[in-house]
Amino acid sequence: MQERLPEYLKRPIIDTDKTRTVRKILKTQCLNTVCENARCPNKNECYTKNTATFLIMGNNCTRNCKYCNITCSKPEPLDLDEPQRIAQAVKSLELKYAVITSVTRDDIEDGGAEHFANCIYEIRKILPETKVEILTPDFRGKTTSLDKIIKAHPDVFNHNIETVKSIFKTARPQGDYGCSLNVLKYIKSNSDILTKSGLMIGLGETMEEIEQTFVDLKKSGCDILTVGQYIQPSKKHLEVKKYYKPSEYEAIKNLADKIGFKKHQIGPLVRSSYRAIELC
């Protein structure tokens, strides 16, 4: 029987003028956020800070990862005006640091790489000083897609490994552990862009496997690391095998330090883009 969600993983509902303003701006620009679609526990904290992580290329994903709350079904055609609306929302929110992620779009030849690039270009047209972090799918490892990202030159390129090698195929049946590492390696080998990756823990991995994943990421040129507790979105998703205690995260931080990660965010409620500006 699965443990009940510990108190330290629960977040209060916050409804203030600031959170309502963020929601209004997103609604006005007809934009999605991973905060809402993936049921992020930090949503309200981020909204109170006037920020959100934009989710581009629709609400429907072409992959069916067993931990993710985003719907797997046939996607809609790309909205070619979306990059401009993203830029306007970034301006309205007065963001100094914008984070953009997406569903996986295996139905598109380049996986949506050009769409990511256009979002970066549109933001920089009107807000050249704003830093941009993108959290992308693996683009099936296509270097032609990754070259489009390199040309657009985000300040941070994030691609999550998500879990350790032994659990990877269970959690991400349509992904590949080696491909994800190679995506990070290609970006780092062909640009000066900061690279970032993260994983969820609590799916049954061992500390030794966590350490090996850190080693693999470091060898692939990953600069920034995030680690947080997996929380089951619904009973249809993978079960939580373990809730790590806050004290156990200190040991994981020590591992990251030992392996050479100078920048990391590690804690129970840490997510890929949580307080991202602090790590750039």
Q: What pLDDT, in 10s, does the model give residues 114-136?
A: 999 999 999 999 999 999 999 99
C-alpha 74: how far from its chain's center? 22
The amino acid that residue 63 corresponds to is R
Tokens 């055609």 map to which residue? 77
pLDDT value for 35: 45
CA distance 225 to 248: 17
For residue 199, the cross-strand partners are: 162, 227
**Sequence ranges of the domains in the chain:** 7-279
Q: Which residue from 61, 127, 125, 70 is spatially nearest to 98, judged by alpha carbons? A: 127
Other CB atoms closer than 10 Å to residue 259's CB: what's the count? 18
Q: Which residue from 107, 113, 112, 86 is spatially nearest to 32, judged by alpha carbons? A: 86
Element (H, E) at 131: strand 131-135
The predicted-structure confidence for 103-113, as pLDDT tens digits, reads as follows 999 999 999 99
> Which CATH number is associated with domain 7-279?
3.20.20.70
DSSP 28-92: HTT-EEHHHHTT-TTHHHHHHTT--EEEES-S-BSS--TT--S-BSPPPPP-TTHHHHHHHHHHH
Mean pLDDT of 194-212: 97
Question: In percent, how much of the chain has pLDDT > 90?
Answer: 66
Residue 101 scores a pLDDT above 60: yes
Tokens of 76: 């809609």
DSSP letter for 220, please. T
Mean pLDDT of the chain: 87
- The answer for residues whose C-beta is within 8 angstroms of residue 249's C-beta and 6 or more apart is 227, 266, 267, 268
Mean pLDDT of 146-171: 97
pLDDT value for 134: 97
CA distance 142 to 146: 7
Contact 133, 158 (CB under 8 A): yes
Q: Which residue from 225, 173, 208, 141 is spatially nearest to 67, judged by alpha carbons? A: 173
CA distance 125 to 116: 15
Phi, psi dihedral angles at 124 (to 5 degrees): -75, -20
pTM listed for this prediction: 0.89
CA distance 158 to 217: 12
Contact 138, 110 (CB under 8 A): no
